[in-house]
Amino acid sequence: MIKGKKLHPKAIIFDMDGVIVDSMVYHFFAWYEALRPLGIRVTCFDVYAKEGERWEKSMRDFLLKSNIRPTAKIMKDLFLRRHTIFKKVYRRVIFNGAEELLVCLKNRGYVLGLVTGTPFTQVRLILPEKIKSVFNCIITGDMVHNGKPDPEPYLKAAKCLKLKPAQCLVVENAPLGILSAKNAGMPCVAVSTSLPGDYLKKADVIVDNLVKIKKILC
């Protein structure tokens, strides 16, 4: 139930990091190590709170917050350093219940989408092919001009799925992603895998894990 109304979505659109794959700790480590040579220290909450943004926006914000001008060279070097570190340390871990949920939703006739702020090159690294193939549409960070919390990523997914925004239900784990979904006119279920519920209050429903979402939708 969402605010007293039954769910009747035609599509379920998932965020990737922190929802399907347990990857946020690796993203934090990559940001931490990539920024350290510049004298910038970030906490896990700094990184988790910006999850879903386009990388360019996150890089620019981290640099400006430390009074470092985000020149093209600094941005390029930081991007490559972060990508290299992530690729080196990342170990693929799919959240418990993720595969079962996706299969169940597919069998129930739902259309499935994936919306992530992560660039396509890293999506290929992070997401197993057998899971990637389940989605009818995948929107990555480098496919949009404006990342989360702007509605563009989720509106683009709805257009790709040939559905109205109100026909789509979003599953998110981060404040910016929740705002993006709500700004797009979509109901949102938040999973508290990365941040506690206090950070996710703008979602319609907050659950602990994907198993509980399966109970709601399947």
Q: Are strands 168-172 and 11-14 parallel, antiparallel or unpaired?
A: parallel
Residue 65: what are its φ and ψ, rounded to 5°? -65, -25
pLDDT at 2: 55
- Determine the Cα–Cα distance for residues 65 and 49; give it in Å rounded to an integer: 15
CATH number given to 11-22+93-217: 3.40.50.1000
CATH number given to 24-89: 1.10.150.240
Beta strand extents in 69-156 (DSSP E only): 111-115, 137-139
Q: Where are the domains of the chain?
A: 11-22+93-217, 24-89
DSSP 8-state assignment for residue 126:
H
Show the low-confidence residues of the chain (pLDDT under 50).
1, 4
- Determine the Cα–Cα distance for residues 211 and 71; give it in Å rounded to an integer: 44
pLDDT at 100: 95
Query: What pTM did the predictor assign?
Result: 0.91
Q: What does the pLDDT look like over 184-209, one tens digit per residue?
A: 999 999 999 988 889 999 999 999 99
- Determine the Cα–Cα distance for residues 95 and 146; give it in Å rounded to an integer: 28
Write the CA distances from 169 to 16, 47, 60, 78, 162, integer angstroms: 15, 25, 31, 35, 14
Strand partners, 190: 172, 206
Contact 168, 192 (CB under 8 A): no
- Determine the Cα–Cα distance for residues 26 and 195; give it in Å rounded to an integer: 15
Query: Tokens 């659109």 — which residue?
Result: 13
CB neighbour list of residue 215: distance below 8 Å, 6 or more residues apart:
none
Angle at CA 31, nearest 5°, toward 144 and 58?
35
Query: Tokens 């990857």 — which residue?
Result: 23
